[in-house]
Amino acid sequence: MEFSGSSVRVDPKSLALDAVTGEMIRGHGEGAGERPSEKAGALDSSSVRNFPLPFASIVPDWASKPERGPVKASVQGDRLKIRTAFALIVLASLLGGGSACAAENLRLNPHLDYSSDSQDGPLITGDRLDEGVARGLPNYLLIYGEGCFNSKRQARRTVHLYEKYKGRVNFVIIDLDRKQSPAQQELVGKYYRGYIPHVVVVDRSGSAVYDASGEVEEQRISALLDQALRAAP
């Protein structure tokens, strides 16, 4: 581990991805766990939470198969209405209400030592911390390591921001010392460059308006989030 200003360099050679569990682990060997740097840009579909089943597989057979033989028009019409309503419900769950799947109740670890790189456990706890970015909302991403005092200080700012913007901004918290969900693994691959803490702000359109390693003042992030909230969806 190497210090640089307000960020810490995590040697890419000491990180690897467990092929069985998908966890980020510390390892050794040439190029272990190394990820190429990528420029911030519009999020592709792989960076956004996807519904786990193909659409066709969640429509019941009775709703998709046509009637055989003479059928009263009213019966066929009713089934068409049911099928249409079912499709609309699924579509709404996929596209609408991003905050319904957002991380919630973020709490700062009260035992953090902000002056050392001690391992004090997860910096932030809460509900649904395995979620990725949400469509149609500004997103704040924090990628951190537990044994890093810079990450601890940024975690404290993050919880302050959450208390100010909860319900309006989606917060994504990624702990590199814990197993990440598939959606979060995609985000780590897209934004993480080997330094912690790493902060990303994504606007409603999915473009990164801030993407940098190191501590960043709360006021600067607030200005970016306010601007993203004012922008039309």
What is the domain-level CATH number for residue 6?
Answer: 3.40.30.10
Task: Give backbone dihedrals phi and psi of 25, rounded to 5 degrees, phi first.
Answer: -125, 160
Burial class of residue 214 (count of CB atoms within 10 Å of its CB; 0-12, 13-18, 19+) = middle
Q: What pLDDT does 14 receive?
A: 47
Residue 123 lies in a domain: yes
Please, what are the averages of pLDDT over each run of 10 residues along the chain (233 residues)?
A: 58 45 42 38 38 41 47 55 56 41 90 96 95 94 97 98 96 96 96 97 96 97 96 78
Packing angle, helices 218-230 and 149-165, rounded to 10: 40
Task: Give backbone dihedrals phi and psi of 133, rounded to 5 degrees, phi first.
Answer: -75, 155
Same domain, 105 and 207: yes
Q: What pLDDT does 27 receive?
A: 38
Give me 133's structure tokens.
């970015």
Q: What pLDDT does 110 receive?
A: 97
Same domain, 150 and 213: yes
Closest to 143 measured CA to CA, from 93, 92, 177: 177
Same domain, 145 and 185: yes
Give me 17's structure tokens.
């991805």
The alpha carbon torsion through 179, 153, 215, 169 (nearest 10 deg) reads 70
Same domain, 207 and 112: yes
Q: Which residue type sits at 149?
A: F
Q: Could you give the CA distance from residue 127 to residue 118 in angstroms, rounded to a whole number?
A: 25
Same domain, 62 and 8: no
Q: Could you give the CA distance from residue 14 to residue 136 in angstroms, rounded to a whole number?
A: 36
Same domain, 9 and 79: no
Residue 41 lies in a domain: no
Q: What pLDDT does 153 receive?
A: 98
Same domain, 143 and 70: no
Residue 43 lies in a domain: no
Q: Tally the domains of the chain.
A: 2
Q: What pLDDT does 232 receive?
A: 74
Same domain, 150 and 108: yes
Q: Could you give the CA distance from residue 226 to residue 209 in angstroms, rounded to a whole number?
A: 12
Which of 95, 119, 144 delimits the end of a domain?
Answer: 95
Strand pairing of 198-202 and 139-144? Answer: antiparallel
Same domain, 88 and 184: no
Q: What pLDDT does 86 receive?
A: 52
Strands (E), the chain: 2-4, 7-9, 15-17, 24-26, 104-108, 124-127, 139-144, 170-175, 195-196, 198-202, 208-213
Q: What pLDDT does 82 receive?
A: 64
Residue 47 lies in a domain: no
Residue 48 lies in a domain: no
What global pTM score does this model have? 0.60
What residues make up the domain containing 154?
Answer: 2-35+100-230
Which of 46, 73, 95 delimits the end of a domain?
Answer: 95
Residue 120 lies in a domain: yes
Same domain, 13 and 31: yes
Same domain, 186 and 83: no
Strand pairing of 170-175 and 139-144? Answer: parallel
Q: What pLDDT does 34 receive?
A: 37
Same domain, 137 and 195: yes
